[in-house]
Structure 1
Amino acid sequence: MNNANALLHPSIWQGLIFNGDWIAAQGGSHTFAEPATGEQLGRVGLANADDVARAATQARAAQAAWATSDYKERAAIFRRAAAVIVEHLDELATWIMRETGAIRAKADHELREAGAHLLEAAAMLTQPKGQLLASASGEMSIARRVPHGVIGVISPFNFPLILSIRSIAPALATGNAVVHKPDLQTPVSGGVLIARVFEAAGLPKGLLHVLPGAAEAGQAMCSHPDIAMIAFTGSTAVGRSVGELAGRNLKKMSLELGGKNSLIILDDADPDIAAAAVAWGAYLHQGQICMASGRILLQRGIADAVIERLVAKAKHLPVGDPMSGKVALGPLINARQVQRVHAIVQDSVAAGATLLAGGTYENQFYQPTVLTGVRPGMRSFEEELFGPVASVTVFDTDQEAIALASATTGCLALGVITPTLARAMFIVDRVPAGHAHINDQTVVAEAHAPFGGGGTSGNGGRHGGTSDWDEFTQWQWLTVKTEAPRYPF
């Protein structure tokens, strides 16, 4: 990480923010630590409202020339950015592991998907961006996509690279400039890394601003008149505040929020396959994933077999410092989150759930946990966990599974495991979800596929594929006549 030739060498960005150059922040600086060890990892600039205002003004000034520049040159920048990630893969993976508490496989996945988003952005530059409409004789009538101007991106700590780049890349590709605020717990993986990759790829100055900041910076982004849209990923509670403030200022919003997602396992499934799917969906990255399998719904005929296998997995999955290379789960992001997860587990047990594995922690390392006998009304059934907890509810009929899975105000993802596809489709067609996966768990995403949710999981926006045109551009109606008409007035 301290190699003089490293892309992320601290001497480049330490204590600074990015506007195309690395500059001092008017808000001062912020230090951040490694969740596994508590060791200080670095110091970034801390943006305040004045920094946001300066960035928004500069971004707006740079945007028009970018939107009308040669599409081939713009596409080449995204391809070069993807190549920079590949070139520095080990270095970047180390930062993600240390900063987010991720195992290497998770870090590699983030980097691969970030590269995929960049290549998808490059491909957008040769896609049609309009429609030829019906018109009167001698008139051309066109509906065309035009950029909003400046997009404000606010991203979280759990998958900071993917959940930033999936908005930044298509926003830039569609001709916008970007002001980005990464989470202060992961400012390198979610911000500095992206700035350095685009800097190395030759992105013109002024188009991307990276401003690690606290609530003040986010509020300024939602209020500044030069920022036309806010793309926010994070908790439902914060999303409500962002939506309220941005809406008051008449900005477009893309809100991707938390979800209570169900993984339904029917009684004709293979217990070994099912248990592995549950463990992956509930425990991957310590359960700190918005589409984690938060409700495990097991049909009674298979429940005991799956629970037995799941408990065995939970008791044997190693937990510890990801940099050791010998663990399956790392730390939760902070001590506050540990206490929240533990309180949900304890309150659910007090309400009648049975703890079969885990339910303990040391420092920020929470053991993989299995709760059975979970019923509606218990915290582990109702609340998004964001911790390594498999919350198991047993059901009898397919209709009961539909009712249990539907008992939420926001579901990002649904999984149904069964060899009987007709049963699976019957369920999928009746449970509201942003995306659904038959014979898979809920943690599934690809750069070219639409991703998002409704209700308390978001405002119905989508990231990925053709959805990016919907989010990051607006329609303009353009007519062209061969000569101006003579009006009677």
Structure 2
Amino acid sequence: MSEVTVKYPSWNKQYIGGEWKEGSSDKFLTVENPYNGEILTKIKLANKQDIDEAYKIAKEAQKSWADVPAYEKISLMERVAALFAERREEIVNLLIEESGSSRIKAGVEVDCCIADIKEALKYPLMMNTTMFPSNVPGKENRVYRIPVGVIGMISPWNWPLYLSIRGVAPAIAAGNSIVLKTASLTPITGGLIIAKIFEDAGIPKGIFSVVVADPGEIGDYMVEHPIPRVISFTGSTEVGRRIGEIAGKNLKKAALELGGNNAFIVLDDADIDEAVSAAVFGKFFHQGQICIATNRIIVDRKVYPQFVDKFKKLTEKIKVGNPADPDTIIGPMISKKQVDKLTKILDDCVKEGAKVILRGKVEGNLMWPSIVIDVTNDMTIAQTELFGPVATIIPVDNEEEAIKIANDSDFGLSGAVFSGSLERGIRVAKQIETGMIHVNDQTVNVDPGAPFGGEKASGLGRYCGAEWAIDDFTTVKWVSVQNEYRQWPF
């Protein structure tokens, strides 16, 4: 029996404590290209022993790293950013092969990573000391901003490179060490390539580790382990609730970016052509497998027929196929499981009274786009984070109903409002219960200087924007100094 060819045999190790080594588990992971099934690598998985080792080394290494001068940390991050830029094409190709990203999406993801690494250059200079007087004679107060210590991070498969970098870069820049558990579907782009670049940039050993493990084998050990003081997680709300519960029980801080059911509101005075173009992008970029993808398109009935007609015509022009093709917009879903889930949702929505005006075919993991109209907000399809190329369009009678429906969700991550009046758009946007919302734009937006995060069941805390995100990666210590003898009452 012939041996199966592995395209990238060198990506078969864990990165623990600054060393590339095999995991200690008896299990192996086979990583496949979701488009053509090609085997990319095979990895011997990590187990609890490896995670324990990574955390212990991280704790020791962090003590020295915290004392490294700010400009040395900045220099490291500058080298990391430069290496990402140098290896851009290599990383783009890995994202295409491992995560099914289109070439356009993969390029955007790498560029977002570089931007976030550059934003992280601010953190070393924000580790400052504040001094202020006391009401006690002869006393001065000092408040030091310091690293939290060790951070445990769990990242997802859909934007594997970026959703890891946005935690790794600021954590390290702020003087912490970090242990990252990357998604099993995307271990190379979600962690291993990041570790290699940081290693080549000269990061001290132990500051950064990457483990690839089976959740069924390690359970909650990444979160329960006594060493990490902060747990950073991006993923489903269901898993996020459990992580938050465990973190709270163990008095750890949890930074959680969870699911979304993002509303795209089209008011009656909107430019329909612009709204349609934005909605098609926000819905179908990366197959809709984005936490901030447009999930519910809410349209005023006065412009509803026109919007639906133009949305359908533009959607039908989208190219579906090989993600390596520069013209491809929709590549493969990450797995057959995701395809089957969406297929069932499409079948069931008709039973609930919705109308499918475009039903995309399915070939392997490829799903052509589908459009469902006349949806009401109580239908399963409207209350589910679809995470795929299925557009849901809900008609409403007026602005007030649009706001009510947009807020009628457990989630509050991203959103969008289209209006011919910017002031009206802003007024509506401020009434939507969400962490982020965009006027006359679509829902998929990331800016390295802006706070990224959700409300309600969409999570806790903020990533990006050093001014806001620094609180998740640092803590403050009050040190008072008594400069002269203090009189005591006894």
Tell whether the structures are fold-level matches, with TM greater than 0.5: yes
d(CA) in 2 for partners of 1:111 and 1:462?
Answer: 17
Q: 1:15-414 to 2 correspondence within 5 Å?
A: 15-28=13-26, 29-127=28-126, 129-136=128-135, 137-215=137-215, 216-217=217-218, 219-414=220-415
State the AA in 2 paired with 1:168.
V
State the AA in 2 paired with 1:185.
L
d(CA) in 1 for partners of 2:221 and 2:258?
Answer: 20
Alpha-carbon spacing, 1:462–1:14, altered in 2? closer, same or farther (3 Å): closer
State the AA in 2 paired with 1:14.
N
Alpha-carbon spacing, 1:95–1:480, altered in 2? closer, same or farther (3 Å): same
Question: Conserved in 2, the CA contact under 8 Å of 1:20 and 1:206?
Answer: yes
Structure 2 equivalent of residue 433 of structure 1:
434
The more displaced of 142-151 and 367-376 is 142-151
d(CA) in 1 for partners of 2:258 and 2:86?
Answer: 33
d(CA) in 2 for partners of 1:177 and 1:217?
Answer: 21
Question: Conserved in 2, the CA contact under 8 Å of 1:262 and 1:414?
Answer: yes
Question: Conserved in 2, the CA contact under 8 Å of 1:345 and 1:359?
Answer: no
Structure 2 equivalent of residue 6 of structure 1:
none
Helix, strand or coil: the match of 2:281? helix
- Between the two proteins, what is the percent identity of the paired residues? 37
d(CA) in 1 for partners of 2:488 and 2:345?
Answer: 71
The more displaced of 314-323 and 188-197 is 314-323
d(CA) in 2 for partners of 1:173 and 1:266?
Answer: 43
d(CA) in 2 for partners of 1:462 and 1:87?
Answer: 25
TM-score normalised over the length of structure 2: 0.95
Alpha-carbon spacing, 1:69–1:210, altered in 2? closer, same or farther (3 Å): same
d(CA) in 1 for partners of 2:373 and 2:235?
Answer: 28
Post-superposition Cα deviations, 1:45-65, rounded to whole Å, max 9, x if no partner, equal 411111111111110010010
| Structure 1 residue 145 displacement after superposition | 1.5
d(CA) in 2 for partners of 1:254 and 1:484?
Answer: 43
| Structure 1 residue 484 displacement after superposition | 5.6
d(CA) in 2 for partners of 1:305 and 1:100?
Answer: 35
Helix, strand or coil: the match of 1:400? helix
The more displaced of 22-31 and 276-285 is 22-31
State the AA in 2 paired with 1:370.
I
Helix, strand or coil: the match of 2:328? coil
Alpha-carbon spacing, 1:129–1:344, altered in 2? closer, same or farther (3 Å): farther
Helix, strand or coil: the match of 2:117? helix
State the AA in 2 paired with 1:150.
V
Post-superposition Cα deviations, 1:369-419, rounded to whole Å, max 9, x if no partner, equal 111001022111111000011100011111000101010111101100112
| Structure 1 residue 304 displacement after superposition | 1.3
Post-superposition Cα deviations, 1:74-118, rounded to whole Å, max 9, x if no partner, equal 110000000001111111100011111011111111111111111
Question: Conserved in 1, the CA contact under 8 Å of 2:123 and 2:173?
Answer: yes
| Structure 1 residue 360 displacement after superposition | 2.9
State the AA in 1 paired with 2:154.
I
Alpha-carbon spacing, 1:21–1:484, altered in 2? closer, same or farther (3 Å): farther
d(CA) in 1 for partners of 2:184 and 2:457?
Answer: 24
| Structure 1 residue 221 displacement after superposition | 1.2
Question: Conserved in 2, the CA contact under 8 Å of 1:463 and 1:471?
Answer: no
Post-superposition Cα deviations, 1:283-332, rounded to whole Å, max 9, x if no partner, equal 00000000111010111121111111111122221111111333110011
* 1:14 partnered with 2:19: no
Alpha-carbon spacing, 1:277–1:482, altered in 2? closer, same or farther (3 Å): same
State the AA in 1 paired with 2:350.
V
d(CA) in 1 for partners of 2:295 and 2:378?
Answer: 14
State the AA in 2 paired with 1:142.
R
Post-superposition Cα deviations, 1:212-267, rounded to whole Å, max 9, x if no partner, equal 11224461111111111100000011111212222222211011100111000112
d(CA) in 1 for partners of 2:213 and 2:199?
Answer: 21
| Structure 1 residue 128 displacement after superposition | 5.5
Post-superposition Cα deviations, 1:432-453, rounded to whole Å, max 9, x if no partner, equal 1111111111101111110001
State the AA in 1 paired with 2:323.
P
* 1:473 partnered with 2:474: yes
The more displaced of 216-225 and 342-351 is 216-225
TM-score normalised over the length of structure 1: 0.95
State the AA in 1 paired with 2:387.
F
The more displaced of 333-342 and 298-307 is 298-307
d(CA) in 1 for partners of 2:133 and 2:331?
Answer: 58
Helix, strand or coil: the match of 2:412? coil
d(CA) in 2 for partners of 1:425 and 1:123?
Answer: 30
Question: Conserved in 2, the CA contact under 8 Å of 1:12 and 1:22?
Answer: no
Question: Conserved in 2, the CA contact under 8 Å of 1:143 and 1:477?
Answer: yes
Structure 1 equivalent of residue 4 of structure 2:
none
Alpha-carbon spacing, 1:474–1:429, altered in 2? closer, same or farther (3 Å): same
State the AA in 2 paired with 1:239.
G
Question: Conserved in 1, the CA contact under 8 Å of 2:415 and 2:436?
Answer: yes
Gaps (5+ residues) in structure 1?
1-8
Gaps (5+ residues) in structure 2?
1-6
Question: Conserved in 2, the CA contact under 8 Å of 1:314 and 1:358?
Answer: no
Helix, strand or coil: the match of 1:380? helix
Question: Conserved in 2, the CA contact under 8 Å of 1:314 and 1:357?
Answer: no
